[in-house]
């Protein structure tokens, strides 16, 4: 078989440059004379989102039917590598049927703040969990000869300003928190592609960041695949080639290809560097062609059943006072809430899948219990309080044995494109629960949402089942869980704080218009809450079951960091169930600032009543290491550590002490304490880090968080910034009119137009350079630069 290197040698310079960008929105270019055909990539990550043949140039119109599996926020709570592999395998099969070569996902960006609008697409606040879950999904997809695209690399932890914002992160936090999940997924599963993010990282766009794309990803981690941009993430295409960016998506109608050709001809870019880039693109095309299964057809029924199973094993039982669950089919039950019939089952934005079927909870409950009744309780089109609907619900609830209320967050409350501003559910949902609980003491709330919320009514209800966004089978899964046909086994992969102001990043989220400072450093999620012993609503790793589990016989063997940890887990209850056994490593006294403990192992074990199983974990030097920024490498601090095993970060059942030898290199980072004491003595209230202390940790002068007033506009200026000029207002007006024409009438059946809302929010943060992509060749760089000159002249004359 002809190799990629051999094929590249036969190409003209123009053909090479052409392969560095897409043919259109979803396809790579072909070189038919060399046997290279167009291959298709398309959105994921929790199922296939392939557009029909009349795809729009923004890539967000209707897609072909596919199985909508639970979103990442949901399946992360399964803590089940085998389940994730199974889901990945099914997604790969659907890609084969639809002739898709690469699916864009999974997303492993850390949930730095619960307000991030895209958190439903991400796995966890913890990098170990994110890397493990992602690696299992990647392995499953790629077992079917279909590639994945690990995204968004890196430090894309908010939607506000994501295309222009500079993520300012100290090196230790970057390595330990924001890159470690990517590292694990790359080393364990070797995704075919990695997608670079829109944002700048410490002053350099991810798409042209050589440290990120080459030095770390390829040289340190051994990544063998291709780096592709997020759609429209290219800033300077030639710099991108030099940095290790292989493929620009989508097509810019040859505009950036021409810049590559020009740079080579002028000697500004070596053809040898270009050849390496093109070889990786050709390798991807060859791999895709070799693995195609032309006549493959997947089993839709089996995949739907898998979606139901995934939702069942991922839902988290938060409260079960008095054993109110599971319910009996003999019980007189009322179902309340429009979500029971029209479920919120996936996130809004580019990941929105057209499901092959959609179960709703009321029908599924009705199939189990024919006597059950229903009232809507609130309106899907209008989230204000409707007193008449609440009164109807209260009247129906009075005298019922139990009431199931389905509530949560509508699409327009969380979506790609914008961040939330609070942790509240709609008042119509909250008041409904409050009022029904006054007339019936046996209320169970089923939550359908993609991220943490506050629950002012939590102590007034007896049961809370967190279904998250459970995919197309969420209705059946909820019914099975409520009636005990399935036993809840999900555990939280993120903390539910008691209040928004408790979050360590809240004073620095979403930052300024030009940069966001990660001043909390490594103290993300439970690393912060556990360190200062902050009360939370529900801790990381938490989740109840209809049975009970006992831990015993903790045994640690081995030498130094290479340890084997074993523990016996027994189901002491009366029904079968699954427990997620979690292992944490804690360093007591330390020269450096550290989290109280960090999760370094987990296993999900299924047990019959009375059954016991031994659960084993392997630890190595990375299990104990921190990133020493002074030596730019991982290091182990010597001394006493504690191995903690339990059912959540705050429910430790057993522990054992071990002694570990440190590295010879001195822990130089310890000397930071004098310059930045806040990290060594975190305040019990709101985390506030001074400019001086964060600058000491960051190791350099902090960049401006806002655009300098009066500074010239560039290709990377945002629509919001240019509207202060007459020309800018005209450009913005034309863009908004285009969006309104494309999406103004695309209402969902419940009256919400989430795509239009997403695009409206994104327009103001969009950089001028993206107009080239959106115009599909009608607007070139020279024309855009002329417009920028006009705006700069107007700026001078203001």
Q: Once rounded to an integer, what is the mean pLDDT over residues 281-310?
A: 98
Compute φ and ψ for 136, nearest 5 degrees: -65, -40
CATH of the domain at 651: 2.60.40.10
726 and 589 share a domain?
no
| Residue 764: inside a domain | yes
Q: What is the pLDDT of residue 749?
A: 43
Predicted pLDDT of residue 324:
98
Measured CA to CA, the distance from residue 245 to residue 209 in angstroms comes to: 9
Under 8 Å between Cβ of 562 and 657: no
In a domain, 360, yes or no: yes
Judgement on whether residues 599 and 552 belong to the same structural domain of the protein: yes
Contacts 24+ apart (CB under 8 A), 679-684: 679/521, 679/523, 679/593, 680/593, 682/523, 682/528, 682/531, 682/532, 683/532, 684/532, 684/534
Is 697 part of a structural domain of the chain?
no
Domain contains 531: no
Q: How confident is the model at residue 668 (pLDDT cuts 50, 70, 90)?
A: low
The whole-angstrom distance between residue 144's C-alpha and the CA centroid of its chain comes to 23
Question: Residues 65, 356: contact at Cβ < 8 Å?
Answer: yes
Residues 641 and 736 in one domain: no
Supply the DSSP string of 670-685, one letter for each residue.
GGGGGT-GGGTS--SS
Of 169, 204, 239, which residue sits at a domain end? 239
- Closest-CA residue to 408 (of 422, 388, 429): 429
Instruction: State pTM to two decimals.
Output: 0.97
Q: What is the pLDDT averaged over residues 120-128?
A: 98
Please give the pLDDT value at position 59: 55
Q: Where are the beta strands (DSSP E) in 300-420?
A: 316-320, 333-336, 354-355, 373-375, 402-408
The neighbour count for residue 243, using CB atoms within 10 Å, is: 22
pLDDT value of residue 167: 98
What's the domain range around 469? 300-517
DSSP 150-201: EEEETT---STTTTT-EEE--HHHIIIIITHHHHHHHHHH--SEEEEPSSEE
Q: Out of 39-48, 384-393, 731-740, which region has the weakest mean confidence (pLDDT)? A: 731-740
Pair 480, 309: CB distance under 8 Å: no
Q: Confidence band (pLDDT; 50, 70, 90) for 62?
A: confident
Q: Examine residue 486 and state whether it is found in any structural domain, yes or no.
A: yes
- Asked if 513 and 610 sit in the same domain, the reply is no
Whether residue 369 sits in one domain with residue 429:
yes
DSSP string computed for 410-469: -GGGSBTTB--S-SPPPHHHHHHHHHHHHH-S-EEEEEE-SS----TTGGG-SEEEE--S
User: With 60 as the cut, is the pLDDT of residue 58 above it?
Assistant: no
Q: What is the mean pLDDT of residues 481-501?
A: 98
Which spans in 642-780 are helix H? 691-698, 719-722, 726-743, 754-763, 770-775
Are 328 and 471 members of one domain? Answer: yes
Q: Is the pLDDT of residue 497 over 50?
A: yes
User: Residue 748's pLDDT is what?
Assistant: 44
Task: Return the SS3 of 706.
Answer: coil
In this prediction, residues 656-666 reach a mean pLDDT of: 86
Domain boundary among 206, 239, 272: 239
Question: Which pLDDT band holds residue 341 (cuts at 50, 70, 90)?
Answer: very high
At 772, is the pLDDT very low, low, confident or very high (cuts 50, 70, 90)? confident
Nearest CA-CA partner of 12 in 229, 236, 264: 264
Residue 24 lies in a domain: no
Report CA-CA distances (Å) from 19 to 276, 291, 456: 12, 20, 55
Is there a single domain that holds both residue 473 and residue 589? no
pLDDT in tens, 149-201: 999 999 999 999 999 999 999 999 999 999 999 999 999 999 999 999 999 99
> Residue 752 pLDDT more than 80?
no
Residues 778-790, mean pLDDT to the nearest whole number: 90
* Angle CA 776–779–780, to nearest 5: 105
What CATH number is associated with residue 336? 3.40.50.1700
Per-residue pLDDT at 431 exceeds 70: yes
Q: Say yes or no: 372 and 503 in one domain.
A: yes
Q: According to the model, what pLDDT value does residue 143 have? A: 98
CA distance 134 to 76: 9
pLDDT above 50: residue 323: yes
* Whole-number Å distance between alpha carbons of 287 and 147: 9
The answer to whether 321 touches 389, Cβ cutoff 8 Å, is no
pLDDT at 744: 61
Q: What is the CATH number of the domain that holds 124?
A: 3.20.20.300
Using CA atoms, how far apart are residues 1 and 287, in angstroms rounded to an integer?
Answer: 12
The pLDDT assigned to 583 comes to 99
Confidence bin at 751 (pLDDT 50/70/90): very low
**101, 189: one domain:** yes
Pick the closest to residue 258 from 783, 781, 789 (CA basis). Answer: 781
- Domain boundary among the residues 651, 674, 697 is at 674
pLDDT 10s digits, 500-540 = 999 999 999 999 999 999 999 999 999 999 999 999 999 99
How high does pLDDT run on average in the chain?
95
Query: Do 197 and 103 lie in a common domain?
Result: yes
pLDDT in tens, 215-235: 999 999 999 999 999 999 999
Specify whether 495 is located in the same domain as 444. Answer: yes
State the Cα–Cα distance between residues 1 and 498, nearest whole angstrom: 60
Does 747 qualify as catalytic in the annotation?
A: no
Burial class (CB in 10 A: 0-12, 13-18, 19+), 608: exposed
Domain assignment present for 709: no
If asked whether residues 86 and 158 sit together in one domain, one would say: yes
Tell me the backbone φ, ψ of residue 373, rounded to 5 degrees: -115, 170
pLDDT, tens digit, 9 for 90 and up, residues 66-113:
999 999 999 999 999 999 999 999 999 999 999 999 999 999 999 999
> Which one is catalytic: 230, 257, 359, 765?
230
548-583 burial code (b ≥16 CB/10 A, e <16): ebebeebebeeeebebebebebbbebeeebbbbbbb
Number of domains in the chain: 4
In a domain, 344, yes or no: yes
């Amino acid at each position: 078989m002809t190799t990629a290197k051999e094929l590249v040698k036969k190409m003209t310079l123009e053909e090479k440059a052409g392969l560095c960008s897409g043919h259109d929105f979803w396809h790579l270019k072909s070189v038919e004379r060399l046997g290279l055909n167009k291959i298709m990539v398309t959105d994921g990550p929790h199922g296939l989102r392939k557009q029909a043949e009349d795809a729009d140039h923004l890539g967000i119109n209707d897609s072909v039917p596919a199985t909508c599996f639970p979103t990442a926020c949901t399946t992360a709570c399964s803590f089940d590598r085998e389940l994730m592999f199974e889901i990945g395998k099914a997604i790969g099969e659907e890609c084969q049927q639809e002739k898709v070569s690469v699916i864009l996902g999974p997303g492993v960006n850390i949930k730095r703040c619960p307000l991030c609008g895209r958190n439903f697409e991400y796995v966890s606040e913890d990098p170990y969990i994110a890397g493990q879950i992602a690696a299992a999904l990647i392995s499953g997809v790629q077992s079917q000869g279909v590639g994945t695209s690990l995204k968004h690399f890196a430090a894309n932890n908010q939607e506000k300003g994501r295309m222009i914002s500079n993520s300012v992160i100290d090196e230790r936090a970057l390595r330990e928190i924001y890159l470690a999940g990517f590292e694990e997924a790359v080393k364990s599963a070797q995704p075919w592609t990695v997608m670079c993010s829109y944002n700048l990282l410490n002053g350099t766009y991810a798409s042209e960041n050589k440290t990120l794309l080459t030095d770390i990803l390829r040289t340190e981690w051994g990544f063998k695949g291709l780096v592709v941009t997020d759609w429209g993430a290219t800033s300077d295409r030639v710099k991108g080639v030099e940095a290790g960016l292989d493929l620009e998506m989508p097509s810019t109608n040859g505009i950036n290809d021409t810049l590559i050709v020009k740079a080579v001809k002028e000697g500004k870019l070596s053809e040898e560097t270009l050849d390496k880039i093109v070889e990786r693109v050709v390798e991807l095309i060859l791999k895709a062609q070799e693995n195609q299964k032309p006549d493959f057809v997947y089993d839709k029924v089996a995949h739907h059943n898998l979606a139901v199973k995934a939702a069942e094993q991922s839902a988290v039982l938060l409260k079960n006072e008095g054993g109110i669950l599971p319910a009996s089919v003999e019980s007189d039950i009322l179902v309340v809430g429009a979500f029971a019939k029209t479920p919120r089952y996936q996130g809004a934005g580019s990941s929105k899948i057209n499901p092959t079927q959609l179960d709703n909870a009321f029908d599924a409950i009705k199939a189990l219990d024919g006597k059950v009744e229903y009232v809507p309780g609130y309106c899907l089109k209008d989230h204000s309080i409707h007193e008449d609907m609440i009164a109807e619900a209260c009247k129906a609830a009075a005298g019922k044995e139990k009431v199931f209320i389905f509530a949560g967050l509508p699409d327009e409350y969380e979506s790609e494109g914008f961040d939330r501003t609070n942790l509240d559910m709609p008042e119509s949902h909250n008041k409904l629960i409050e009022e029904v609980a006054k007339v019936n003491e046996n209320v169970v709330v089923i939550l359908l949402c993609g991220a943490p919320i506050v629950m002012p009514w939590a102590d007034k209800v007896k049961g809370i089942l967190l279904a998250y966004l459970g995919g197309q089978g969420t209705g059946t899964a909820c019914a099975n869980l409520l009636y005990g046909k399935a036993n809840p086994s999900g555990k939280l992969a993120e903390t539910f704080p008691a209040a928004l102001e408790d979050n360590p990043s809240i004073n620095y989220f979403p930052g300024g218009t030009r940069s966001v400072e990660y001043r909390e450093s490594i103290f993300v999620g439970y690393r912060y809450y556990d360190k200062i012993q902050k009360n939370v609503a529900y801790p990381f790793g938490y989740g109840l079951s209809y049975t009970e589990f006992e831990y015993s016989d903790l045994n640690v063997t081995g030498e130094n960091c290479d340890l084997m940890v074993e523990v016996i887990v027994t189901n002491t209850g009366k029904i079968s169930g699954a427990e997620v056994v979690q292992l944490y490593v804690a360093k007591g006294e330390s020269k450096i600032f550290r989290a109280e403990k960090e999760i370094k192992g987990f296993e999900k074990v299924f047990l019959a009543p009375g059954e016991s199983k031994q659960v084993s974990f392997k630890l190595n030097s990375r299990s104990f290491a921190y990133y020493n920024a002074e030596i730019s490498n991982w290091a182990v601090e010597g001394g006493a550590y504690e191995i903690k095993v339990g059912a959540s970060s705050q429910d430790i059942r057993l522990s054992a002490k071990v002694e570990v030898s440190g590295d010879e290199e001195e822990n130089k980072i310890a000397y930071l304490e004098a310059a930045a004491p806040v990290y060594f003595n975190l305040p019990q209230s709101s985390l506030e880090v001074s400019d001086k202390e964060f600058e000491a940790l960051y190791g350099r002068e902090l960049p401006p968080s806002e655009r300098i007033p009066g500074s010239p506009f560039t290709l990377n200026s945002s629509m919001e910034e240019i509207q202060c000029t007459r020309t800018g207002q005209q450009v913005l007006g034309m863009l908004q009119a285009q969006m309104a024409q494309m999406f103004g009438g695309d209402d969902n059946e419940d009256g919400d137009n989430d795509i239009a809302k997403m695009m409206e929010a994104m327009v103001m943060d969009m950089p001028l350079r993206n107009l080239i992509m959106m115009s599909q060749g009608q607007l070139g760089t020279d024309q855009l630069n002329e417009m920028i000159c006009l705006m700069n002249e107007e700026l001078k004359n203001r």
